[in-house]
């Protein structure tokens, strides 16, 4: 997709609705083999947090496009010895064609992108996880044949995944409901952004009541109760989040054709029961596979086809 060439994806809001839908369409074509694109470029992975899916799906996507990957993390570069981010960005920008960065502060990602001319992708920050939501939307589209009017309900922590779901769902005309405890709301600036995008044409609901969120929902979604960087709070959060667990009882109030998603890694019998993640409504493995197809579409769109 020529119009995305050279751009950054720091937030889903960097795309407009049409661009997001076109990206999903391209991912679908790449997955089915209808399109076979090439891109002989080099991707740098700069990850300050652990990752299985994002690291490997980006790497394999790049290899399948004919490109190469350098897996960097702070411990193997001078970053761990205090080299400023703004220096690192300007130097690596002269070697690498595109960056996928996983870090804590959105501000650091933005600073890097400001100093690097080449495209920078948010591979997860504390604020957002846009690449995850590309795969999630692709999965919903495959399962229901459409996105418009589908209701997705998220249960648990108002974290990076919840924030990006708010934006992504609003952009494709899906109804989005976020059920969180009072002190764990999603980012309110993003909630307002999502409401503006939805413009009254689809629901954007934030509630403390999981029963309100679940009624007739077609997609139930959850994520860990303590994200990376919040490990010290993991135990104290369990009783607070218990009412938001995605379990078989909750599924009873959802639509008959409901599917269950989880970005993974999952903590079985915390945010999701083993029975549900292993049950016939679960689409988590398709969802994880779609990370690769969606990111391949993203890479080739930001870099251009050879």
Contacts with ligand NVA, residue ranges (CB under 6 A): 124, 159-161, 223-224, 227-228, 263
What single-letter DSSP state applies at residue 280?
T
Residue nearest to ligand CP (CB): 54
For ligand NVA, give the closer residue by CB, 161 or 167: 161
Asked if 132 is an active-site residue, the reply is: yes
Of the listed 53, 55, 127, 129, which one is catalytic?
129
Ramachandran quadrant class, 304 (left: phi over 0; alpha: psi -120 to 50; beta: rest): left
Q: Locate tokens 């992975």: which residue?
A: 45
What distance in Å separates the CA atoms of residue 305 and residue 28, rounded to the nearest whole number?
A: 17
What distance in Å separates the CA atoms of residue 156 and residue 226, rounded to the nearest whole number?
A: 10
Cross-strand partners of 206? 178
For ligand CP, give the closer residue by CB, 30 or 263: 263
Q: Which does 251 bind (CB under 5 to 8 A by kind): ligand CP, ligand NVA, none?
A: none
Q: Which does 193 bind (CB under 5 to 8 A by kind): ligand CP, ligand NVA, none?
A: none
Q: Which does 227 bind (CB under 5 to 8 A by kind): ligand NVA, ligand CP, none?
A: ligand NVA
Q: How far is the CB of 231 from ligand NVA (least distance, A)?
A: 9
Q: How far is the CB of 31 from ligand CP (least distance, A)?
A: 18
Asked if 269 is an active-site residue, the reply is: no
Asked if 263 is an active-site residue, the reply is: yes
What distance in Å separates the CA atoms of residue 276 and residue 111, rounded to the nearest whole number?
A: 41
3-state helix, strand, coil in the chain (%, to 5): 50, 15, 35
Asked if 129 is an active-site residue, the reply is: yes
Return the ∠ at Cα 294 (arms to 58 and 305), rounded to 5°: 80
Q: Which does 52 bind (CB under 5 to 8 A by kind): ligand NVA, ligand CP, none?
A: ligand CP
CB proximity list for 59: less than 8 A, separation 6 or greater: 43, 45, 69, 71
Q: How far is the CB of 126 from ligand NVA (least distance, A)?
A: 7
Q: Which does 40 bind (CB under 5 to 8 A by kind): ligand CP, ligand NVA, none?
A: none
- CA dist list (Å): 84 to 71, 77, 95, 247: 19, 11, 17, 46
Q: How far is the CB of 142 from ligand NVA (least distance, A)?
A: 21
Binding residues for ligand CP, rule: CB under 6 A, are 51-54, 124, 132, 263-264
What distance in Å separates the CA atoms of residue 46 and residue 159, rounded to the nearest whole number?
A: 21
Q: How far is the CB of 164 from ligand CP (least distance, A)?
A: 11
Of the listed 102, 237, 262, 293, which one is catalytic?
102
As a whole number of Å, the end-to-end CA separation of the chain is 12
Q: How far is the CB of 265 from ligand CP (least distance, A)?
A: 6
Continuous segment of H or E residues that includes residue 102: strand 98-102
Asked if 223 is an active-site residue, the reply is: yes
User: What are the two backbone dihedrals, phi and then psi, of residue 249, each rounded to the nearest 5 degrees?
Assistant: -65, -45
For ligand NVA, give the closer residue by CB, 27 or 224: 224
Asked if 131 is an active-site residue, the reply is: no
Q: Locate tokens 């292993």: which residue?
A: 278
The two tokens of residue 4 are 């995305």
Q: Which does 177 bind (CB under 5 to 8 A by kind): ligand CP, ligand NVA, none?
A: none
For ligand NVA, give the closer residue by CB, 223 or 270: 223
Residues acting as catalytic residues = 102, 129, 132, 223, 263, 291
């Amino acid at each position: 997709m020529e119009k995305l060439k050279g751009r950054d994806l720091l937030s889903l809001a960097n795309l407009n609705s049409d661009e997001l839908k076109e990206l999903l369409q391209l991912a679908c074509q790449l997955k089915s083999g209808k399109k076979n694109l090439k891109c002989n470029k080099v991707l740098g992975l700069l990850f300050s947090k652990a990752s299985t899916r994002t690291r490997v799906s980006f790497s394999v996507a790049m290899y399948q496009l004919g490109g190469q990957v350098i897996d960097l993390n702070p411990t193997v570069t001078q970053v761990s010895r205090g080299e400023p981010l703004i220096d690192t960005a300007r130097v690596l920008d002269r070697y690498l064609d595109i960056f996928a960065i996983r870090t804590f502060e959105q501000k650091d990602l933005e600073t890097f992108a400001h100093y690097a001319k080449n495209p920078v992708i948010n591979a997860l920050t504390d604020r957002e996880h846009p690449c995850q939501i590309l795969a999630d939307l692709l999965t919903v589209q495959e399962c229901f044949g459409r996105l418009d009017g589908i209701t997705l309900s998220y249960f648990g922590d108002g974290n990076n995944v919840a924030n990006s779901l708010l934006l992504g769902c609003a952009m494709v005309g899906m109804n989005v409901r976020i059920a969180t405890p009072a002190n764990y709301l999603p980012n309110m600036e993003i909630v307002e952004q999502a409401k503006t995008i939805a413009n009254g044409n689809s629901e954007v609901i934030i509630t403390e009541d999981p029963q309100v969120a679940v009624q007739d929902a077609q997609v139930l979604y959850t994520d860990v109760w303590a994200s990376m960087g919040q490990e010290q709070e993991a135990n104290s959060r369990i009783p607070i989040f218990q009412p938001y667990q995605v379990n078989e009882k909750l599924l009873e109030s959802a639509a008959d054709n409901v599917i269950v998603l989880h970005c993974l890694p999952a903590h079985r019998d915390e945010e999701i029961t083993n029975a549900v993640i292993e049950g016939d409504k679960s689409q988590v493995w398709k969802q994880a596979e779609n990370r690769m197809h969606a990111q391949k579409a993203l890479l080739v769109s930001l870099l251009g086809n050879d």
